[in-house]
Amino acid sequence: MVDLDAFVDDCKSALASDDPVAAVEGLVRDVIADPEALHSAFGERITGKSLRDRIIFHDDELTVVQIATVPGLQSPVHNHNMWAVIGVYDGEEHNAFFEETDGTLKQTGERLLKSGDVAVLAPKTIHAIDNPIERKSNAIHVYGGNLVARTGRSMWNPRTQEREDYEIGQLSEYTKELSGIA
Ligand SMILES: [Fe+2]
């Protein structure tokens, strides 16, 4: 059994530790070790398909969200302006990493996360995610701040490659465009 409220409480305690990111990484690794239990725990909490509906908890210090990606889903390039721990518990999540130099975006690396894999992203990380497989994939994402309201976040317009202020509604529109979802 996975108790998501207990998980959130454990993450809050981790924030007060000497190394919050490593502590949260350990918690995420533990919670994704039982994918079916995590799947059913989320099933009881998620109220809809939007990103907001999938947020289990958020305050100014912490966000815990379930991220489901349909086949072919592709996010626009974005940053978080806070650390993130990503744990895939079903399927795969491909991460592409970027750097911006003199206003030009360049891919610098990539990592394919499979079920059971955990990735830690630094506050300055710029990335895009996609689901490379033919079925839905599921992950838990934990952020060291408020994912929805964090200021200073950016996303990159997929048509012009220009940096824009992060806005969750527009991010969803770009995701639909890139993914070919009407
Ligand atoms: Fe992200």
CATH number at residue 70: 2.60.120.10
HEC-encoded secondary structure of the chain: CCCHHHHHHHHHHHHCCCCHHHHHHHHHHHHCCCHHHHHHHHHCCCCCCCCHHHEEEECCCCEEEEEEECCCCECCCEECCCCEEEEEEECEEEEEEEEEECCEEEEEEEEEEECCCEEEECCCCEEEEECCCCCCEEEEEEECCCCCCCCCCEEECCCCCCEEECCHHHHHHHHHHHHCCC
Q: What is the number of structural domains in the chain?
A: 1
Instruction: Give residue 80 CA to ligand 1 midpoint distance, Å.
Output: 6
Residues spanned by the domain of 18: 4-179
Instruction: Give residue 30 CA to ligand 1 midpoint distance, Å.
Output: 21
Instruction: Give residue 1 CA to ligand 1 midpoint distance, Å.
Output: 27
Instruction: Give residue 67 CA to ligand 1 midpoint distance, Å.
Output: 10
Instruction: Give residue 90 CA to ligand 1 midpoint distance, Å.
Output: 18
Instruction: Give residue 56 CA to ligand 1 midpoint distance, Å.
Output: 16
> What is residue 128's predicted lDDT score, i.e. its pLDDT?
97
Tens digit of pLDDT at every position of the chain (182 positions): 899 999 999 999 999 999 999 999 999 999 999 999 999 999 999 988 888 899 999 999 999 999 999 999 999 999 999 999 999 999 999 999 999 999 899 999 999 999 999 999 999 999 999 999 999 999 999 999 998 888 899 999 999 999 999 998 899 899 999 998 75
Instruction: Give residue 102 CA to ligand 1 midpoint distance, Å.
Output: 22
Instruction: Give residue 75 CA to ligand 1 midpoint distance, Å.
Output: 8
Instruction: Give residue 71 CA to ligand 1 midpoint distance, Å.
Output: 17
